[in-house]
Structure 1
Amino acid sequence: MRKSVGAYLIERLQQLGVRRIYGVPGDYNLEFLELIEQAEGLTFIGNCNELNAAYAADGDARLSGISAVLTTYGVGDLSALSAIAGSYAEGVPVVMISGIPPLHAIAQRALLHHTLADGGYENVMNCYRQFTVAQARLMPQDAATEIDRVLGAAWREKQPVYLQLPSDTCCVSVSVPAGNDISSSPGSDPVQLQAAVTEMARRLEQASRPVLLLDALVRRYDLGARVRQLSEMLDIPFATLATSKAALCETSPRYQGIYGGKASSPALYDLVRQADCVIGLGVRFVDATSGYFSQSFDSDAFINIGAFDVRCGADAFMGVGAADLLDGVLAHLAARASSSRPAKAAPAAPTGAPDRAIGTAEWGQPAFWARIQTFLRTGDVVLADNGTSLVALTHMRMPAECHFVSQPIWAAIGYTLPALLGALNASPKRRHLLFIGDGSFQMTAQELSSILRAGHRPVIFLLNNRGYTIERMILGENAAYNDIANWDYAALPEVLGPSGGAICLRAGNADELEAALRQAEDPSHLVFIELAFAPMDGPTGIASFGGVVRHYDYGAFGEG
């Protein structure tokens, strides 16, 4: 069977579940865009720039499982690179496709636009090798094989990949395989799997104080149901790192909160420190998820389950898939249920904020976030940009079936506004709430126009502190470098979208907030709420967080 390289790439993308490709047209990708226009079930979403396009694809993939972005060579690739690096750090499968100059020009080292005009065509590929798990330049002789290899890596490893599609190769017909499934699991080594199941089950059966620590692996590999079953079967309390917030239902009585070393609640910190069996699901302790490396527990009691391996104390079992391991442990425990130890009650989890409106005399971020806790509802998609929004929402309890989108590791401010577009496209029937600061919003503000153009109806909370509040908490409280231009934010939807396409509101006190929230409860249009706060007004605990960061980054030089 023969198909064009472009058609085969589209076919394979669709088989993996890609329904939208984000990007910006350019002269080297137009032929591929023509094929996308003709493909049923696949839509091209044009964006304001390539950085935003890749952010949008990331947001889409977090809800749909996988997405793609299309740019033109050089300028487009490098514009998108920071976002792709963020997907790599956070473990999000995004297929980055670049339309590149024709092969004849590359072979002749032609001095073309969108290059450095030095005849070199490997520099961009070299950049992407650092931030993707697989890469290929599609050549007629092996295009089909390379497409399957690269897309298969994205699916198995849940990481971004990079494909270069030469403009004169897109429509070349090549021989393609028939019937092979690139989304199939690699499976587990049976000997290693049985040994890992036996060891993990033994540790669980002997433990009197077990605890589960969840990281992003749970959502990336759809392990939530298995982890919940394990927690319920043995009544094991669980906590999540900030990177996996709401991966399991936070209304569960077994949920203990966000674990971040000494940045956790004292009760949770002690629970983990005193545990005699700590089961990690892909746990990585980075500064932002560990209270700056203040985690504490018995390393010999630590079981860390990876995507394709598991480590139990000093023992490692390679070639063991996480889903296979959990299935095996659950089956082993179920078979011995009649003789297992009695279930122990999980420690009481902290309760959420009581339902109440803000008192008329109250205004400031602590009161605002307490009110937002009661505004959240079952099934919401909540996006929190880095800064005060993420600090507040990370420790807020999400209602059942919520999806939480943030970027705590790569921590690129402005990420969530374009990611909101992707999330809305992936799950248009759910209510979407975006919380973003003024400094973050200015990074990617143009993509609000794409959200309005699509007719989406999210609720956007713009926290206007007139500058970089979280940086002020670290250093430079009154420094000019933390100031930004004070835009008329609530006026922007009318500029960037059709007249009447948004409800634009401002709130600078409790009564105005209540009036705004009433209109945001079930929005018929996009609702944009600009919230006025003082420059140093932040959620509870942010000042102490700033001190920890200042000491870690600058030591004695930051104490003046």
Structure 2
Amino acid sequence: MTPISIEQIPGTVTTATDAAVNMMPLGEYIFKRLEQVHNVRSVFGVPGDFQLSLLEHIYKTKLNWVGGCNELNSGYAADGYSRYTRSLGVLITTYGVGELSAINAVSGAFAEYSKILHIVGMPSTKVMTDEQLKKQHIHHLVPDLDSLKDSNHLVYADMVDKVCCAKKIIMNQDQILDDLDDLILQIFKTSRPGYLFLPVDLSDELVNAERLHSQSLEHIHKSFLEIKDSEEDRHITELANKVLEQVYNAKNPVILADVLADRYANGQELLQEFINKTNLHHYVTFMGKSLVSEYHPKFVGDYQGSLLSNPGIHENFVSSDLVLYVGPYINEMNTGKYTAEFKENTIILHADYLKIGQTIYRDAHFIKLLAKMNSIMDQTRVPINPLLQFPITKKFANIPSTAKINQSTLLSKLEAFIQPNDVLVCETGSVMFGLPDIKFPTGMRYIAQGFYLSIGMALPASVGVGCAMRDLGSSQRLILLEGDGSAQMTIQEISAFEHLKIKPIIFLLNNNGYTVERIIKGEHQSYNDVKPWNWLNCFKFFNVQEDSVRTAKIVEVTELTKALNSIETRSVTEGTLEFYEIILDQLDVPWRFHAMNSNRLLPKMD
């Protein structure tokens, strides 16, 4: 008998007598549970024999299945989906060969506080529990080094402890009810990936689905941020007042906005509200780019320490007598190779702690503090910022180039091209280090892997971003800045755009190999070369219809100007896919990347 879904019975009231009516296959329950999570509309992955029975159930829901060309690409796409939605990216792979292919993408998500639920199809519960079956070496398994030892069927689950916030290994169908909810909560609480290991024989087992109605997950993405009782409210209020008193008593306080404010529910909105209410001078980090309005009258610029900031930025920053560092991620890339100066006058508002001077307060999530500070702030006591003490100069360096287009010209053209509310996905590569020189328009979203820096991430991530934009009905443009070397890693996923009816604007920067590596070492060594491809012909191979893509190879500045002027304002699902191959010198990088590498002299500035 086919089990009846509770959605088939209007007005169902759960009682002990009708428990059978609420029974549902576990696979269907998982997907319907995920449907309840904020902004989750698509699921990414690659089919495999250990999770096919699970995938069958997705078609009983409204979720979209987005199959990838490989598991790594699907992991990157789930990451991109999470970053755009500020919610959960769902990834489904099979045992061993699939999950290991995706682990690099999951590791990048972990390193950059991106929320992924990775569901892995596993061998059956019998294989893992029966004393005789446990001895069998099943396919996709790596046996023990000692051939006389039994197989460890959880060998891959043991590998992920350092790249996830939590993992759940499901051994019976009823266990999923609590474990799935707890895992999703932990993912949102930490903004890190989590793993669900699901044996192949459980997907069709029946579970009581009553909690789909009685305990919705609609608000789980921010439930842990709610102040739960009066005692916690007093604690948060006390700390919020401590921070505000520091602001009130300062003469020249400033705000430094960082990427974690983009990773938690309402973070970006609360931070912008705090900026608007205080009207203090403020900066963004390398990874915090586009987090706040760069056209706000008190926005100063991108702060990357004394090494990588534009002239005047660092000087103005360190002249302040109080720094509110909101949503910080302190790492090499985000601090200008640790040349950023955070003295005793720095207050750090982190997801894990509040630090005032040398005093650390736990249980003081910065989202809760921002919300409280916004509500209790006395704006009349906030100091009026003085004028900036040092002039600021933007560096578009005139770097020598054998190509007719150099990156300085490209960056200045891009600054004029990018419009309010555009979404820009940028690959790990040389151009990334020039973007801090661009003033982003209001409402624009910038998505890039600024710390983990796995090349090849951006193209499949833009598939995830495009799916998210489509799912949420966005009218924005999607722009991808890609490199020729990076694109060769994950180029298969360009075929997804046609299949999914997503129409990005792609600029492929062809500098004939691994330019970032050439600058570091081996300018002319063969290990930094890549095989030359005929990029404009790749769409035929990937079965992209001729009338749905527009391509051009751009060598001259006039050609670049003409191409940019021809691109219309449209949504991500309208018009044609546009692909422009831009020829650059193989040693042309923005000034900031030269500054990071002491083995090369800084270029002269005009």
| TM-score of the two chains, using structure 1 as the length reference | 0.92
1:185 matched to 2:231? The reply is no
Q: Deviations over 1:423-445 (max 9, x none)?
A: 11111331111111111111100
CA contact (8 A) 2:258 2:326 kept: yes
1:515 matched to 2:588? The reply is no
- Name 1:558's counterpart in structure 2: none
Deviation larger for 110-119 or 406-415: 110-119
Alignment of 1:103-142 (within 5 A): 103-107=125-129, 108-109=133-134, 110-118=136-144, 119-140=151-172, 141-142=174-175
Alignment of 1:381-392 (within 5 A): 381-392=423-434
CA contact (8 A) 1:192 1:317 kept: no
Partners of 1:163 and 1:550 lie apart in 2 by: 50
- Name 1:419's counterpart in structure 2: 461
CA contact (8 A) 2:256 2:326 kept: yes
- Name 1:291's counterpart in structure 2: 336
- Name 2:14's counterpart in structure 1: none
1:397 deviation in Å? Answer: 1.4
1:535 matched to 2:582? The reply is no
- Name 2:491's counterpart in structure 1: 445
Q: Give the alignment's Cα RMSD to 1 decimal.
A: 2.3
Partners of 1:341 and 1:250 lie apart in 2 by: 21
SS of the aligned residue for 2:450 comes to coil
Which residue identity lines up with residue 115 of structure 1 in the other structure?
A: L
1:225 matched to 2:276? The reply is no
Determine which of 521, 525, 549 is the counterpart of 1:502.
Answer: 549
1:329 deviation in Å? Answer: 1.7
1:169 matched to 2:202? The reply is yes
- Name 2:324's counterpart in structure 1: 279
- Name 2:385's counterpart in structure 1: 344
1:45 matched to 2:66? The reply is yes
1:61 deviation in Å? Answer: 0.9
Deviation larger for 434-443 or 122-131: 122-131
Structure 2: runs of 5 or more not aligned:
1-21, 145-150, 397-402
Alignment of 1:318-357 (within 5 A): 318-334=362-378, 337-338=379-380, 340=381, 343-345=384-386, 347=388
Partners of 1:544 and 1:321 lie apart in 2 by: 35
The 1:493–1:164 alpha-carbon spacing in structure 2 relative to 1, beyond 3 Å, is same
Q: Deviations over 1:525-551 (max 9, x none)?
A: 101101111211222333233337999
- Name 1:554's counterpart in structure 2: none
| TM-score of the two chains, using structure 2 as the length reference | 0.85
- Name 2:9's counterpart in structure 1: none
1:216 deviation in Å? Answer: 1.4
Determine which of 216, 221, 245 is the counterpart of 1:202.
Answer: 245
1:283 deviation in Å? Answer: 1.3
Deviation larger for 218-227 or 182-191: 182-191
1:314 deviation in Å? Answer: 1.5
- Name 2:311's counterpart in structure 1: 266
1:28 matched to 2:50? The reply is yes
Partners of 2:464 and 2:349 lie apart in 1 by: 30
The 1:534–1:378 alpha-carbon spacing in structure 2 relative to 1, beyond 3 Å, is same
Which residue identity lines up with residue 154 of structure 2 in the other structure?
A: E
The 1:548–1:190 alpha-carbon spacing in structure 2 relative to 1, beyond 3 Å, is farther
- Name 1:155's counterpart in structure 2: 188
The 1:193–1:413 alpha-carbon spacing in structure 2 relative to 1, beyond 3 Å, is same
Partners of 1:547 and 1:99 lie apart in 2 by: 47
Partners of 2:56 and 2:216 lie apart in 1 by: 26
SS of the aligned residue for 1:293 comes to coil
Partners of 1:323 and 1:549 lie apart in 2 by: 42
The 1:536–1:126 alpha-carbon spacing in structure 2 relative to 1, beyond 3 Å, is same
1:369 deviation in Å? Answer: 1.4
SS of the aligned residue for 2:507 comes to strand
CA contact (8 A) 2:247 2:382 kept: no
Which residue identity lines up with residue 227 of structure 1 in the other structure?
A: L
1:459 matched to 2:517? The reply is no
1:349 deviation in Å? Answer: 8.9
CA contact (8 A) 2:261 2:268 kept: yes
- Name 2:452's counterpart in structure 1: 410
SS of the aligned residue for 1:547 comes to coil
Partners of 1:450 and 1:387 lie apart in 2 by: 23
1:352 deviation in Å? Answer: 7.8
Which residue identity lines up with residue 157 of structure 1 in the other structure?
A: T
Partners of 2:599 and 2:300 lie apart in 1 by: 23
Partners of 1:176 and 1:499 lie apart in 2 by: 44
Partners of 1:171 and 1:216 lie apart in 2 by: 41
SS of the aligned residue for 2:598 comes to helix
SS of the aligned residue for 1:22 comes to strand
SS of the aligned residue for 2:198 comes to strand
SS of the aligned residue for 1:84 comes to helix
Which residue identity lines up with residue 16 of structure 1 in the other structure?
A: V
Q: Deviations over 1:54-98 (max 9, x none)?
A: 100111111112220111110000000000000011111111011
Determine which of 560, 576, 586 is the counterpart of 1:525.
Answer: 576
1:515 deviation in Å? Answer: 2.6
Alignment of 1:357-368 (within 5 A): 363-368=405-410
Q: Deviations over 1:226-278 (max 9, x none)?
A: 22222222221111111121011112122222211121123221222222211
Deviation larger for 145-154 or 509-518: 509-518
The 1:417–1:230 alpha-carbon spacing in structure 2 relative to 1, beyond 3 Å, is same
Percent identical among aligned pairs is: 27
Partners of 1:549 and 1:437 lie apart in 2 by: 22
CA contact (8 A) 2:310 2:392 kept: no
1:346 deviation in Å? Answer: 5.7
CA contact (8 A) 1:24 1:53 kept: yes
